[in-house]
A and B are shown apart, each in its own frame.
Chain A
Amino acid sequence: MKNAVRLSFFAVLVIAQLAVPAWMIVSREWTLRQGNTFKFHTAPVDPYDPFRGRYVALRLEPDEARAPVETQLDYNQRMVAVLETDAEGYAKVSELRLEPPPEGDFIRVHAWPRDATMVGIHWPFDRYYMDERLAPEAEKAYRDHNLREERNAHVTVRVRSGNAVLEDLFIENVPVREYVLREMKEK
């Protein structure tokens, strides 16, 4: 291969290598700035990712919804969860469907049939990355808090045109980072 041709191909590769992470950033920034906010109940635990570090794993609620009528679902079926807000201000699924609704906020999810009437939902956010020192403390703080009082942890999610980006994790309505630092100081 001639070097000029090699360099031209390399230039194309450089653009592709920059474009993929750039697009990952732009699409999420757009959703964070323009999307509507929904609150989800959650339960945090603390695992580890070899590449991306320590995070708080999230189990979001609701984790199931009523199955759509007369639809045969596969395992890990791609679906659309149409969102509404309940009386307490938390997100709830008003409808699960195969295609996006003409209007209203929705999130693309994976689902699987649980029984004849209910479908399990896998939300596209299952982790909140934190400083490696703070993540285990966050889990511990949540667990301690859970023993003392009624559970109160939630995440805020921004939703726009089916794209969803996790914004923040709250314990007792305080952002998790502030909460953990406060708890650590009190000790």
Chain B
Amino acid sequence: MNERPVAWLYDELPGLVSMGILSADDADRLRQHYGPVAVETRRNLGLAICAILGSTLIGLGTILLFAHNWDDLSRPARTVLSFTPLVLGQILVGWTLTKRLESIPWREGSALFLMAGIGCAIALIGQTYHIPGNMGAFLLTWMLLSVPLVYLVDASVPGALYWVGLTAWAGFVQDEGGQAVLFWPLAAVMAPHLWNAIRKDPYGFRAVALTWSLGLCLCVATGITLEKETPGLWIVVYSGLFATSYLLGHYAFASAPRLWQRPLHVLGAAGVVVVGLILTFEDPWEDIGWSHARHGAAYHQWAAIGDCVLAIGLLAASAVLLTWLVRKKRFDTVPFGLAGLVSLLGFALVAVGTPEEVGMILFNAYLFALGIIVLALGIHRGELATVNGGLLILAALIVTRFFDLNLSFTLRGIAFIAIGAGFLSANLLVRRKGEIQ
């Protein structure tokens, strides 16, 4: 059940009773019917943020104190010291579970403190026994010992940090010559918690914060976990990822009231434009495809299959979502939603031996069309933000071409003035349209 409307209704009830629209008994019956709600109020949210900030600062401070390395202390003293924050955190979480389970600030704060305590304990033991670098193993142990807290204490900030930790782990593992394909099943461990938060209140702070964390981590981790055995496959994977993210945002979170409450939509659109701009240069299209496959001891053949699965999976997901949205007459989602399929076309053409310029020209045309369509949509709907978005895409495309092409200063100057005039006149047009309406 989405609890936000119920919380709104509960806020309204006293007023309705005092105005005589409902009797006190009716109000009680409504409360009994819908049951208690756990939607964050402003005060609760403030308290939770304070608890999270406080626990983070104390946790980081403890890690820094330990990092000083008090080598005057004996090994037994350091052993006791390494367990102290861990045990303190466990006591706090135990107390929260028995006495304050309903309190979001206590749940989030204590779980976060325990998470920091686990990191401190492993770090200090590593320091005492001069355990080798291996930051990957350190982070993985830390994250795996922390993630059950998300479910036991129902705390979301440790969950969001778990994804950040996993992303860092993936980076270190790949850097040390390993393969971090395990990132995907490990990241999925948090999926039920995210699903539960979305089900309760899709636009609440908890669901939105978790989705932002996951979305940002996926932007980084996808590139890290790719084995890159087939050069250029990242083009399809990243375009597919951002197109899927954008379409999923429209499919599942279309009625989000504010922009910050649409993480998938924002990340997807921004990602499509950024990747699109990169692909308007010639370099990413050089020597790509299966005929340039990389071999050697540093490449894991089995992991390369994962790259193909990811590319196919993301393309299929974006195609399914796009079909569903088109059937619902959401044609406005098509321009961004096509990014995955356009990249597949470009990749396939260049991989089979078509000149590299074809991919570059394809994406220049795609971004130009994208900018024009977004601009037209904005003018049609009278949405100033969309108009400026379309103009920004066009401006970014033209500016990047100026660094790329050998055009005269006069021509560049005229084009910049034209873009500026375009911005001003489009804004004026939309404002006038709004005033008339």
Contacts and interface: CB of A to CB of B under 8 A. Distances in A.
Given A9-B152, A76-B176, A165 B129 contact: yes
Main secondary structure of the interface of B (DSSP, over half): helix
B382 interface: no
Given A76-B176, A134-B71, A52 B297 contact: no
Given A51-B123, A54-B69, A14 B90 contact: yes
A6 B83 contact: no
Given A16-B145, A18-B86, A131-B69, A126 B132 contact: yes
A51 B86 contact: no
Contacts of A112: 297
A126 B130 CA distance: 8
A21 B297 contact: no
A113 interface: yes
Contacts of A74: 297
Q: How large is the interface on A (under 10, 10 to 19, 20 to 34, 35 or more residues)?
A: 35 or more
Interface residues of B, number: 49
A27 B86 CA distance: 20
A97 interface: no
Contacts of A16: 145
A9 B148 contact: yes
Contacts of A52: 66-67, 69, 123-124, 126-127
A7 B98 contact: yes
A94 B409 CA distance: 69
A140 interface: no
A3 B71 contact: no
Nearest to A112: B297
7 contacts: A6-B152, A14-B90, A17-B90, A24-B131, A49-B67, A123-B132, A131-B68
A-B pairs with lowest CB-CB distance, top 8: A53-B67, A75-B297, A166-B130, A76-B177, A129-B127, A51-B123, A28-B129, A21-B121
Interface of A: 3, 6-7, 9-10, 13-14, 16-18, 20-21, 24-25, 28-29, 49-55, 73-76, 112-113, 123-132, 134-135, 165-166, 177
Given A21-B86, A50-B67, A123-B132, 4 more contacts: A51-B119, A53-B69, A75-B297, A113-B297
Interface of B: 63, 66-72, 75, 79, 82-83, 86-87, 90, 93-94, 97-98, 101, 114, 118-119, 121-133, 135, 138, 141, 145, 148-149, 152, 176-178, 296-298
